[in-house]
Chains A and B, each alone.
Chain A
Amino acid sequence: EMQLVESGGGLVQPGGSLRLSCAASGFTLDDFAMHWVRQAPGKGLEWVSGISWNSANKIYADSVKGRFTISRDNAKNSVFLQMSSLSAEDTALYYCSKDIYVSPGRGMDVWGRGTTVTVSS
């Protein structure tokens, strides 16, 4: 069974940093692109970032460009999201999702349950 498990969320002060992790199992991670998607409380889905199978292509939403960095370690079956200069607007449930292709763009199929990030003083 394909599975994604996010971790690393928590409470962080404005201006702070946090690193999210996504552990993949049940499939070969380096066959697929991966994404991070977030959902603020009571709001809709917002795509955050995507990374190709070999890390050659990384894409970001305008709202996080320059502050967030996506990365992956295929040998450890993991994907990461390094977040910095956090503000209250970044408060959300962060989902990890698997693309159906080697490069971002064609869509996602498998989703994790998410990890919660709260930015507050």
Chain B
Amino acid sequence: QAVVTQEPSLTVSPGGTVTLTCASSAGAVTSGHYPNWFQQKPGQAPRALIYTTSNKHSWTPARFSGSLLGGKAALTLSGVLPEDEAEYYCMLFSGGVQVFGGGTKLTVL
């Protein structure tokens, strides 16, 4: 099974913009990997944000967007709020199974 890699941690200022990425050891990430992004805050279940690369769920705030960038999946947060501080996980469909990345701890400071 492929290994999915994310930045371990990132820091952003309130109101700023940050991009989290998601890479696969199997090669370039494409739309065929159906990239998903999830947010998890301490003590809570994960919350789905983005599915199939760039589609938002009905509850996903407009400041979150997904894309493919340089062979990776990317999650961009624009106009970051303090409440966006959380762990973010990407997930790919690779080799017939789902694989999560290790997560990115986003600090809003």
Contact = CB atoms under 8 A, between A and B. Distances in A.
A and B bind: yes
Contacts of A112: 45
Contacts, number: 66
Size band of the interface chain B makes with A: 20 to 34
> A-side binding surface: helix, strand, loop or mixed?
strand
B34 A113 contact: no
Nearest to B103: A44
Given A44-B103, A59-B97, A107 B1 contact: no
B91 A44 contact: no
B100 A109 contact: no
B102 A107 contact: no
Contact of B46 (A45, A59, A61): A45
A61 B46 CA distance: 19
Contacts of B101: 44
Given A47-B98, A107-B52, A107-B91, 5 more contacts: A46-B100, A47-B91, A47-B100, A106-B34, A111-B46
Q: Which 3 A-B pairs have the closest CB atoms?
A: A107-B36, A107-B51, A47-B98
